Amino acid sequence: MGVKFTFSKLLVFVLAALLPLALVAPAHAASNPKVSIKASAASVAPGRTVSFTGAVTKKSAGASVSLQRLDGSTWVHVASGKVSKKKKFSVTSRAPSGAHAYRIRVIGSKKIKTAFSKSVRVTGLVGVSVSPAMVGATFSVTAQRRSFVSRPVEVQQRVGNAWVNLATGTSSTAGVVVARASLSESAVVRVHAPAATVSG
């Protein structure tokens, strides 16, 4: 005796076979976002804060970002941040002395893949300024040291082949030196940090 199927039974059979396939949600691969970056300054005094801002495309809101600085041939982490609902980020870091390249690394997730921005260069300039530079007037000397520690410093005048102390002071924990002195004639001055033991 043969098996007979009515149209209604056949339709139920087909729907039952397709139902498990309908319940399986399609898989969505993580997308490749594009990352932009901009530094608030191209050159600053060492120890000053530089802001790095930019945007990340695709479904990047809430993603973690890492500000990296190139140290030799290795990118090292220096600061962390998050991508906002508007798909933007802002992180800050103090600039060391010398020229350094920075980039942003976006941490991958189920929605986006790990991505990197192009690199930008920021230079920490070391310098000394004197104001006002007038003979006979008391002037202020402002300088930025390479190391971010507080330590004794000396403002010195060059006399012949020797350096003579004009004033003494102490640099701040950010390496900034501010001292006052006066000169009876035009001269070359410098800020000198004598050898010292720094604790901390």
**Sign of the C-alpha dihedral computed for residues 166, 172, 174 and 176 taken in this order:** negative
Question: What does the alpha-carbon distance between residue 193 and residue 6 come to, in Å, rounded to a whole number?
Answer: 100
Pick the CATH number of 38-124 from 3.40.50.300, 3.30.450.20, 1.10.287.1080, 2.60.40.10: 2.60.40.10
Model pTM greater than 0.75?
A: no
Question: What does the alpha-carbon distance between residue 134 and residue 144 come to, in Å, rounded to a whole number?
Answer: 22
Tens-level pLDDT at each residue, the chain (200 residues): 555 555 455 444 544 555 555 455 455 688 999 999 999 999 887 778 999 999 999 999 999 999 999 998 999 999 999 999 999 999 999 888 778 999 999 999 999 999 999 999 998 766 666 665 566 667 676 666 656 567 788 888 888 888 888 888 787 766 667 777 777 777 777 777 776 554 44
Domain coordinates in residue numbering, the chain: 38-124, 128-192
Look up residue 97 and give its two tokens.
């002395």
Contact criterion met (CB below 8 Å) for 51 and 90: yes
